[in-house]
Amino acid sequence: MINKGEDEEGMTQWFEEVTRDAEEVQTSILGKIIRQNSGTEYLRKWLGQVQVDEVDDHALESYFTSLLPLSTHADYETYIQRIADGDSSPILTQQPITTLSL
């Protein structure tokens, strides 16, 4: 039988292992998302002429956090309405949005 202390220690060790590189993983994933969607109207509006394929993930994260403002749903309403009206251009995502659930 495993006692409570051993179980907690094992859980703590597991948590430390899976979160050890959390910051690096988040930066990498953000870089991938930005690169995949860099051609969208929304990101072009804020990133302008930033050549996303020519900078590393850390630089992209810095650009993203300094150039894109915090936003709310209201900031996206015009874009969402255009998508709902059938606009299939890359507005918010590079991949076509085929379903909206509001």
Residue 90 lies in a domain: no
For the record, the structure tokens of 81 come out as 């309405």
Split into its structural domains, the chain has a count of 1
Residue 91 lies in a domain: no
pLDDT at 3: 59
* Residue 63 contacts residue 55 (beta carbons within 8 Å): yes
Residue 23 lies in a domain: yes
Helix (H) or strand (E) holding 22: helix 22-36
- Distance, in Å, from the CA atom of 3 to the CA atom of 81, rounded to the nearest integer, reads 56
- Residue 99's pLDDT band (cuts 50, 70, 90): confident
| Structural domain range at position 51 | 4-84
Residue 21 lies in a domain: yes
Stated pTM of the model: 0.76
Token pair 């590189």 is at which residue? Answer: 21
Residue 39 lies in a domain: yes
- Distance, in Å, from the CA atom of 8 to the CA atom of 74, rounded to the nearest integer, reads 44
Residue 95 lies in a domain: no
Token pair 């990498």 is at which residue? Answer: 28
Residue 62 lies in a domain: yes
**pLDDT tens, 15-72?**
888 888 899 999 999 999 999 999 999 999 999 989 999 999 999 999 999 999 999 9
Residue 96 lies in a domain: no
Q: For the CA atoms of 69, 70, 72, 73, what is the dihedral angle to 10 degrees?
A: 60
